[in-house]
């Protein structure tokens, strides 16, 4: 069953992440920041209007995830409007604007969340780029998440809204796999960014890529 295979693969990938020393996590984050800022979607002139900066829905990394701390600050310094998730009691995600590391507060499950105005779960549908956490992606663009379901809801919300955001998962190099187990509800991403570069995926026929 795909679910059981996912569970085993998640366990193995999380075990590798738990063994990573802090300096490796931080170094990966520095490279991810540089590579992400090179995305065509964030290039000057890529925004719908020169007067409207691009909007990126991102997240604050935790544990052994590739660090996003440098990326968040560099996006903000580049004039990008950065949205961060706020976990709701039902595991869905609200969103608020990132106003700097000093405006992050500790929330449940060890998460850091922005302390500003809540913009509502639908705010993500107005993002130009959605940066996704994950544990792996395969050559088809299928992302393996942690299994909590929060980002499955985000991706479904984007699809219902007909959003055209670029979906980008942030990973370590070794987490780009030939194949990950798939279930019917799984959705494809457009790209993965790892410390070594950007990996692009073609949307399958008959799907939007969301």
Where is the binding site for substrate, in residues? 60, 65
Calpha distance 78→74 (Å, rounded):
6
How far is Cα 39 from Cα 54, in angstroms, rounded to an integer? 12
Is the separation of the CB atoms in 156 and 190 below 8 Å? no
N-terminal to C-terminal alpha carbon distance within the chain? 24
Annotated binding site for ATP: 6-10, 143-151
C-alpha distances (whole Å) from 191 to each of 91, 138, 143 are 25, 10, 10
Contacts of 54 (CB under 8 A, 6+ apart): 41, 42, 46, 47, 80, 81, 128, 129
- Number of residues that make up the chain: 210
Question: How many Å apart are CA 92 and CA 155, to the nearest integer?
Answer: 11
Which residues carry a binding-site annotation? Answer: 6-10, 60, 65, 143-151
């Amino acid at each position: 069953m795909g679910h059981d295979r996912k569970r085993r693969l998640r366990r193995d990938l999380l075990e590798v992440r738990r063994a990573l020393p802090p300096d490796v996590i931080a170094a990966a984050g520095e490279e991810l920041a540089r590579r992400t800022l090179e995305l065509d979607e964030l290039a000057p002139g890529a925004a719908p209007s020169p007067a409207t900066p691009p909007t990126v829905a991102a997240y604050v990394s935790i544990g052994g995830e590739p660090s996003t701390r440098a990326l968040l600050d560099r996006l903000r310094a580049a004039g990008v409007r950065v949205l961060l998730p706020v976990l709701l009691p039902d595991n869905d995600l609200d969103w608020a604007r990132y106003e700097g590391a000093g405006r992050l507060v500790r929330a449940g499950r060890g998460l850091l969340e922005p302390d500003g105005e809540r913009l509502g779960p639908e705010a993500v549908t107005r993002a130009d780029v959605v940066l996704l956490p994950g544990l792996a992606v395969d050559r088809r663009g299928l992302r393996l998440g942690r299994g909590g379901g929060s980002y499955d809801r985000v991706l479904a919300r984007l699809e219902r809204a007909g959003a055209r955001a670029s979906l980008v998962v942030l990973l370590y190099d070794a987490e780009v796999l030939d194949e990950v187990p798939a279930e019917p509800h799984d959705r494809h991403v457009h790209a993965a960014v790892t410390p070594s570069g950007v990996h692009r995926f073609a949307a399958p026929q008959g799907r939007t890529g969301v």
